[in-house]
Copies of this chain bind each other. A is one copy, B any other.
Amino acid sequence: MPDRSHNIDPDRLLGLYKTMRRIRAFEEAAEAASLDGRVGGAVHLSIGQEAVAAGVCANLRPTDQITTTHRGHGHCIAKGTDPGAMMLELFGKEGGTCGGKGGSMHIADFDVGMLGANGVVAAGIPIAVGAAHGAKLLGEDRVVVCFFGDGAINRGPFLEGLNWAGIFALPILFVCEHNSYASTTRTEAVTAGPGATARAESLGIEAFEVDGNDVVAVDGLAGELTGRIRAGGGPFFVTARTYRLKGHTSVDPGAYRDEDEVSLQWAEDPMNRCEEELQRLGLAAAELETIGRQATEEMAAVAAAATAAPHPALIQAFTDVQDVGAPVWSALP
What is the interface of chain A, defined by CB distance below 8 A to chain B? 154-160, 162-167, 189-194, 198-199, 201-205
A192 contact from B157, B166, B189, Cβ within 8 A? B166
CA distance A256 to B277 in the complex (A): 60
Interface pair B189/A193, CB less than 8 Å apart: no
Contact at B204–A202, with CB atoms within 8 Å? Answer: no
Residues of B within 8 Å of A192, CB to CB, are: 162-167, 203-205
Taking a contact as CB atoms under 8 Å apart, the answer to whether A154 and B160 are in contact is: yes
Residue pair B191, A199 in contact (C-beta under 8 Å): no
Q: How far is the CA of A285 from the CA of B18 in the complex (A)?
A: 82
Of all A-B residue pairs in the complex, the 3 with the closest CB atoms, nearest first, are A156-B156, A166-B192, A193-B204
Q: Which of A190, A193, A194 has the most CB of B within 10 A?
A: A193
Question: Which listed residue, B155, B156, B160, B194, touches A202 by the CB 8 Å rule?
Answer: B194
A201 CA / B157 CA spacing, docked (Å)? 19
Cα separation A190 to B194 with both chains bound (whole Å) = 25
Closest Cβ neighbor of A202 among chain B residues: B202
Closest chain-B Cβ to A20's Cβ sits at a distance in Å of: 32
Known contacts A156-B159, A166-B192; 7 further A-B pairs (Cβ under 8 A): A156-B156, A159-B159, A162-B192, A167-B190, A167-B191, A193-B205, A201-B202
Q: List 20 A-B contacts (CB under 8 A).
A: A154-B159, A156-B156, A156-B157, A156-B160, A159-B159, A159-B199, A163-B191, A163-B192, A167-B189, A167-B191, A192-B203, A192-B204, A193-B202, A193-B203, A193-B204, A194-B202, A198-B202, A199-B202, A201-B202, A202-B202
Give Cα A159 to B158, complex, Å. 8
Q: Bound complex: CA of A204 vs CA of B202, how far in Å?
A: 12
Residues from chain B with Cβ under 8 Å of A191 in the complex: 163, 167
Interface centre among A155, A156, A157, A160 (most CB of B within 10 A): A156
Nearest-neighbor residue (CB-CB) of A192 within chain B: B166
Contact among B166, B199, B201 for A203, CB-based, below 8 A: B199
Chain B residues closer than 8 Å to A154, beta-carbon distance = 159-160, 163
Q: How far is the CA of A179 from the CA of B127 in the complex (A)?
A: 31
A262 CB to nearest B CB, Å: 25
Residues of B within 8 A of A157 (CB): 156
Shortest distance from the beta carbon of A176 to any chain B beta carbon, whole Å = 14
Look across to chain B and name the residue whose beta carbon is closest to the beta carbon of A197: B202
CA–CA, A195 and B316, complex, Å: 49
Contacts of A156 in B (CB 8 A): 155-160
B residues within 8 A CB of A198? 202
Q: How far is the CA of A191 from the CA of B160 in the complex (A)?
A: 10
Closest chain B residue to A193, Cβ basis:
B204
Inter-chain CA distance A162–B199, complex, in Å, is: 12
Closest CB-CB distance, A204 to chain B, in whole Å?
3
Cα-based distance from A190 to B169 in the complex (angstroms): 11
Q: How far does the alpha carbon of A192 sit from the alpha carbon of B203 in the complex, in Å?
A: 5
Q: Which residues of B are found within 8 Å of A203, using beta-carbon distances? A: 192-193, 199
